Chains A and B, each alone.
Chain A
Amino acid sequence: MTSRLSAITLNTFREAVRDRVLYNFIIFVLLLVASAPLFSQISIGMERLILVNVGLSSISLFGVIIAIFIGIGLVSKEIEKRTLYTILSRPVRRWEFIAGKYFGLMLTLVVNTGLMTLGFYVALLISDRAFKPADAAMLIAVYFIVLQFLMVTAITLLFSSFSTPIFSAIFSFALFAIGTFADDLRNFAALAQGVTKWLATGVAYVVPNFASLNVISRVAHDQHIAGKLVLYNTVYALLYSAAVVIVSVLIFERRNLK
């Protein structure tokens, strides 16, 4: 089982690398490093704040776009091109295929994020001329971004397991947008009355809470991130992603692959 799972994972990663997906980090680094001196000219004394905000937000956005655009084809492309036929005619369980695809895309995103983070720190070094102790806290924001990718990838995989790529992309982006404003949805649920309150509370708990994973602004202002938040976010992201991947497997296990 382990060898089959790791083979599918590595093949998914290899596909992304050979399709030059990771090249996007070069564009990211070039843009960030080239624009770092500009920040100091347009916002005197605030260049570091802007650089951190722009850098980390870009890492998040680039990753979400990759997660969704590769994720929507993870299963549907294999069905459409019939490569899945030669996989399922082997001793590969359907859950192994889904899990392998998920881990493969996550591996791609982690490597991509690692490279972009490296580029981000280079830009920070160019801007500040030296590293500060507060710079280490940026890694917590990056870690939360990776947790966000865990959830976005799981959601995209879920839609990909039963829907067409276009609908999967629309649903995934919609859920990502709603999840970004999860705190507002919870506040609305708290203020609502009757059936609306029940409905809003239900939706607020079902949609992914990306708001709590976004600490970019806080690290940019050198605010402390509590260890408890790191723990809660880790547990939440892992449980949410696992639940969504399990639902994907349950759907895929019963699906006729025409």
Chain B
Amino acid sequence: MFAIEVQYLSKDYAVGFWKKQLRPALKNLTLTVQTGETFGFLGPNGAGKTTTLKLLMGIIFPTSGSATILGKNFHDPGIKRRIGFLPEQPYFYDYLSAPELLDYYAILSGVEQAERKRRIPRLLEQVGLSDVGNKQLRKFSKGMLQRVGIAQAIVHDPEVVFLDEPMSGLDPLGRHEIRELIQNLKDAGKTIFFSTHILSDAEALCDRVAVLHKGELRGIGVMNDLRSTTAGKTEVIWEGPVALQAVARLTLESHVTGELVRVKVASDALDSLLEGLRRQRARLVAVTPLHGTLEEYFLSKTSEEEPVRA
């Protein structure tokens, strides 16, 4: 059984005042997420990531398509006991303290009183907020609010956690803290569906990623496989700029700094390049195979025209 299964999910928004026109925000999204997986949902701003999460949470209704979460229809109220959600740049009831807020959300999620008393102090400690006492949330920093956000998403111990841009707007320290919290959830065996446009976060945390662009799914797969699709290049550095002219046709890009020349070359052209450099009597400094990065994959997918199905 998949933790999440999305089938042909679409959402059109009516825009305009008099003459309403339909603007597609999400087009036939189809994907699956395995139980226990950390799934990155990547895309530039306006790609349709938040729309997808709002659809899955029942905040907006789809134009067409459907989804199942833990084997049940996503509109089944019973399933919401088993999922947690952190919206993008969350705002909470700022007149409440962190324990009051978590207690409120735990009641709404059906957690019994005895369990709430036991779980909430432990959870506050887990997110590093055990010392906030009864301070109202209006006095919290952005990083603290984001930690409260994670805490409210898991206060009822859900099996699947949806996080919408959890690192957005945080400083490097705050991002590191949230990344640690997500890693802890991952270690605890939770399924995490995690939307972001910060690729380094996805690279550090995700098992699989999907790339969304202009409402269309552009790519999906296991992290290492995706990176390898953009690998296959080697960086070569040598001394002697005069040799560059003889091998220039083999290189993908080149930079000259004083006597040093640094080029990138396709791996299958490496032997010819090295042979050319020997003939030119250039002094070789380094030969380094390059690994594909998620960024390269992301850029290649967000500039393509053809969507994919997965």
Residues of A within 8 A of B (CB): 3-4, 7-8, 11, 14-15, 18-19, 81-93, 254, 256-258
Residues of B within 8 A of A (CB): 13, 54, 57-61, 77-78, 80-81, 83-85, 87, 89-93, 95-96, 104-105, 107-110, 152, 156, 162
Complex Cα spacing A108 to B59, Å = 28
Residues A82 and B87 in contact, CB atoms below 8 Å apart: yes
User: Which residue from chain A places its CB closest to the CB of B100 in the assembled complex?
Assistant: A14
Instruction: Knowing A4-B107, A4-B108, A82-B87 are in contact, say whether A89-B95 is a contact too (CB < 8 A).
Output: no
Complex Cα spacing A18 to B156, Å = 26
Query: In the complex, which residues of chain A have a beta carbon less than 8 angstroms from the beta carbon of B81?
Result: 90-91
Complex Cα spacing A7 to B104, Å = 7
12 additional A-B pairs beyond A19-B95, A87-B108, A90-B109, beta carbons within 8 Å, are A4-B110, A82-B89, A85-B59, A86-B85, A86-B105, A89-B58, A89-B85, A91-B80, A92-B77, A92-B108, A254-B61, A258-B13
Number of inter-chain CB pairs below 8 Å: 77
User: Which residue from chain B places its CB closest to the CB of A92 in the assembled complex?
Assistant: B108
Instruction: Knowing A15-B93, A82-B90 are in contact, say whether A89-B57 is a contact too (CB < 8 A).
Output: yes
Residues B57 and A88 in contact, CB atoms below 8 Å apart: yes
Residues A81 and B91 in contact, CB atoms below 8 Å apart: yes
Query: In the complex, which residues of chain A have a beta carbon less than 8 angstroms from the beta carbon of B78?
Result: 91
User: Which residue from chain A places its CB closest to the CB of B88 in the assembled complex?
Assistant: A82
A91 to chain B, nearest CB (A): 4
Complex Cα spacing A123 to B83, Å = 55
Complex Cα spacing A127 to B61, Å = 60
Q: 4 tightest CB-CB pairs across the interface, nearest first?
A: A89-B85, A18-B95, A256-B60, A89-B57
Residues B93 and A7 in contact, CB atoms below 8 Å apart: no
Instruction: Knowing A11-B93, A82-B91 are in contact, say whether A89-B80 is a contact too (CB < 8 A).
Output: yes
Residues A3 and B91 in contact, CB atoms below 8 Å apart: no
A168 to chain B, nearest CB (A): 20
Residues A85 and B104 in contact, CB atoms below 8 Å apart: no
Partner of A90, one of B54, B80, B96: B80
Complex Cα spacing A87 to B54, Å = 12
Complex Cα spacing A7 to B110, Å = 11
Query: In the complex, which residues of chain A have a beta carbon less than 8 angstroms from the beta carbon of B107?
Result: 3-4, 7
A216 to chain B, nearest CB (A): 34
Residues A85 and B54 in contact, CB atoms below 8 Å apart: yes
Query: In the complex, which residues of chain B have a beta carbon less than 8 angstroms from the beta carbon of A8?
Result: 108
Residues A88 and B58 in contact, CB atoms below 8 Å apart: yes
Partner of A91, one of B54, B59, B77, B87: B77
Query: In the complex, which residues of chain B have a beta carbon less than 8 angstroms from the beta carbon of A15?
Result: 93, 95
Residues B90 and A91 in contact, CB atoms below 8 Å apart: no
Complex Cα spacing A4 to B90, Å = 21
A70 to chain B, nearest CB (A): 13
A251 to chain B, nearest CB (A): 14
User: Which residue from chain A places its CB closest to the CB of B86 in the assembled complex?
Assistant: A86
Complex Cα spacing A15 to B137, Å = 13
